[in-house]
C-alpha cells in the first residue's frame, strides 16, 4: 500500500454482534503512527469495533478495509491472513500456561509460517528486549507478575512486525503503577516504531496522561472527539 493510504478505513459501516446491531454508521480512519482510544461505558460497543477489525464481528453497509482486506463479504479463508497482519493484546493476556515465555512466542512464529530456527530465536530475543523481559524467556507464565505477563502478550503481538496493534483493555487487570508501565511501553512502541495502536479503555485518566485520538462509543454510535475539554469532561 502507498505510505499515505490509511491502515484501516471504515465509512458508514454497521457492526453486528450475532444478529444484534452494536454500532451504526461508523466512520473510522487509522493512519500509520496513530494512537487511538476507543472509550465508553461497558457494553457500548468498544470491543465490538476491535473485533470487527479482525473479522470476528460482522460488518455491513458502507465500506470497510483493514490493510489490503475488504471486510464487506470477506471470505472465511482470507480471515487468518488478515489476522496475521495485526497484533492483538488482550486484557487477560491469553498466554499458553503449559509452556515457557520462549515457547509461547515460538509457537506463534511457527504457526504463522516461520521455519528457520535461527531466525525464530533472533526474533524472540528482539521482542523480549523491546519489552524489557530478556531474562525471563525460560519462565513459565505463572511465575510472572501480571504486568510481566502483559509484557509477554505485547511481545507476542510484535512478533510479525504488524503495522497495527489492537489492545483490548490492556491495563484493566493491573494496579495503577503496573498499568503506567504498560502505557509507557505501548506509547514508546508507537513513538519509536510508528506502529499504530488502537486501544479499548474505560479509564479516562489515561486519555490526558497519554494523549491520543479519542473515540467515544455511546447509544449505538461511536464518534471522534475533537475538543480537549470534551476529553477532560468524560465521565463513565
Render pLDDT for 9-45 as a digit per residue (tens, 0 to 9).
999 999 998 889 999 999 999 999 999 999 999 889 9
Which pLDDT score is estimated for 19?
86
- The span from the CA of 235 to the CA of 12, in Å, is 27
Which pLDDT score is estimated for 229?
55
For residue 201, being part of any structural domain is answered with: no
For residue 206, being part of any structural domain is answered with: no
For residue 67, being part of any structural domain is answered with: no
> What backbone torsions phi and psi does residue 145 show, to the nearest 5 degrees?
-70, 170
Which pLDDT score is estimated for 137?
96
Which pLDDT score is estimated for 212?
95
Q: Is 3 exposed, middle or buried (0-12, 13-18, 19+ CB in 10 A)?
A: exposed
> Which range of residues forms the domain containing residue 112?
98-161
Taking the chain, what is the end-to-end CA distance rounded to the nearest angstrom? 38
This prediction has a pTM of: 0.93
**Cβ neighbours of 138 (radius 10 Å):** 10
- Average pLDDT for the chain: 93
Which pLDDT score is estimated for 136?
96
For residue 209, being part of any structural domain is answered with: no
Which parts of the chain sit beneath pLDDT 50? none
Render pLDDT for 163-176 as a digit per residue (tens, 0 to 9).
999 999 999 889 99
For residue 141, being part of any structural domain is answered with: yes
- The span from the CA of 189 to the CA of 183, in Å, is 10
For residue 58, being part of any structural domain is answered with: no
| Domains contained in the chain, number | 1
Which pLDDT score is estimated for 130?
96
Amino acid at each position: 500500500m502507498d505510505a499515505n493510504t490509511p491502515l484501516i478505513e471504515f465509512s458508514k459501516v454497521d457492526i453486528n454482534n450475532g444478529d444484534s446491531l452494536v454500532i451504526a454508521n461508523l466512520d473510522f480512519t487509522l493512519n500509520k503512527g496513530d494512537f487511538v482510544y476507543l472509550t465508553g461505558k461497558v457494553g457500548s460497543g468498544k470491543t465490538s469495533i476491535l473485533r470487527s477489525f479482525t473479522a470476528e464481528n460482522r460488518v455491513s453497509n458502507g465500506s470497510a478495509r483493514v490493510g489490503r482486506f475488504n471486510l464487506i463479504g470477506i471470505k472465511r479463508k482470507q480471515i487468518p491472513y488478515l489476522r496475521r497482519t495485526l497484533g492483538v493484546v488482550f486484557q487477560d493476556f491469553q498466554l499458553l500456561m503449559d509452556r515457557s515465555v520462549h515457547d509461547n512466542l515460538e509457537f506463534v512464529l511457527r504457526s504463522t509460517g516461520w521455519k528457520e530456527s535461527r531466525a525464530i530465536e533472533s526474533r524472540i530475543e528482539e521482542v523480549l528486549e523491546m519489552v524489557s523481559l530478556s531474562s525471563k524467556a525460560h519462565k513459565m507464565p505463572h511465575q510472572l507478575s501480571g504486568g510481566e505477563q502483559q509484557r509477554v502478550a505485547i511481545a507476542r503481538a510484535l512478533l510479525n512486525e504488524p503495522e497495527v496493534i489492537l489492545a483490548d483493555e490492556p491495563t484493566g487487570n493491573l494496579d495503577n503503577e503496573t498499568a503506567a508501565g504498560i502505557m509507557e511501553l505501548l506509547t514508546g512502541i508507537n513513538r519509536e516504531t510508528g506502529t499504530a495502536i488502537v486501544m479499548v479503555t474505560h479509564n479516562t485518566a489515561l486519555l490526558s496522561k497519554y494523549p491520543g485520538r479519542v473515540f467515544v462509543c455511546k447509544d449505538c454510535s461511536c464518534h471522534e472527539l475533537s475538543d480537549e475539554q470534551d476529553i477532560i469532561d468524560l465521565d463513565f
